[in-house]
Amino acid sequence: EVQLLESGGGLVQPGGSLRLSCAASGFTFSSYAMSWVRQAPGKGLEWVSTVSGSGQTTYYADSVKGRFTISRDNSKNTVSLQMHGLRVEDTDVYYCARRSTGGGYGDLPDYWGQGTLVTVSS
Amino acid sequence: EVVLTQSPDFQSVTPKEKVTITCRASQSIGTSLHWYQQKPHQSPQLLIKYASQSFSGVPSRFSGSGSGTDFTLTIDSLEAEDAATYYCHQSRNLGTFGQGTKLEIK
């Protein structure tokens, strides 16, 4: 059974930093790209970032480019999202999602974690 | 950026009714269109991939169709447990989501 467990969310001041992590199990982790997708409370979904299965290729939404960094540790079956320069509008539930292939482009998120809430407020 | 527009935004339906949700893309995306169901306080669950392929374990009352710019999610014989928000998602160009369609069961 595919399981994804996010952690690291919390309250942070504008301009601050936070690191989210996602622990994966139930599948061959290095064979699949991974993504972060976020959702403002009561709002729609926004793709944030994707890392390929090897970790060598990354993609970012324009809204986070230059502020967020996605990475993965295939020895520990974890994917992380380092967030800097956080803004009030980054307040969202952040979901970790497995993608359907190892490449991460042209494929889709097929399994999702339960999410972790990030609140950016002074 | 590919913009996805869903209709309707909200629909109140009765059990056993047939429901149709549409998703229109701002440019042609082939069949790179997927549908998700999100129940309250839960994460999204994949229903349909690549416009018409059912995902593993999804009930047969859910089906998808379309290509290019116009896509449809159909729920035959709606059940009470289908109360949720449904999102379309395109993967032709990195990835964008529709704004969602909330289904309320009368």
pLDDT band at A96 (very low <50, low <70, confident <90, very high): very high
Contacts with A111 (C-beta within 8 Å, 6 or more apart), sequence order: A2, A4, A97, A98, B46
Three-class SS state of B12: strand
Backbone angles phi, psi at B2, to 5 degrees: -80, 120
Which residues of chain B are within 8 Å of residue A98 when distances are taken between CB atoms? none
Closest CA to A50 of B93, B56, B55, B84: B93
Please give the pLDDT value at position A103.
87
CA distance B29 to chain A (A): 10
Which residues of chain A are within 8 Å of residue B97 when distances are taken between CB atoms? 44-47
pLDDT tens-place string over residues B33-46: 999 999 999 999 99
The sheet with strand A68-73 has its strands ordered as A3-7, A18-25, A78-83, A68-73
Is B95 a residue whose pLDDT tops 90? no
CB contact under 8 A, A44 and B99: yes
Nearest-5° Cα angle at A101, B62 to B1: 75
pLDDT tens-place string over residues B63-82: 999 999 999 999 999 999 99
Q: Are strands B33-38 and B45-49 parallel, antiparallel or unpaired?
A: antiparallel
CA B20 to each of CA B9, B24, B26, B76, B100: distance values in angstroms, whole numbers, following the listed order: 12, 13, 20, 9, 13
pLDDT tens-place string over residues A32-84: 999 999 999 889 999 999 999 999 999 999 999 999 999 999 999 999 999 99
d(CA B26, CA B14): 32
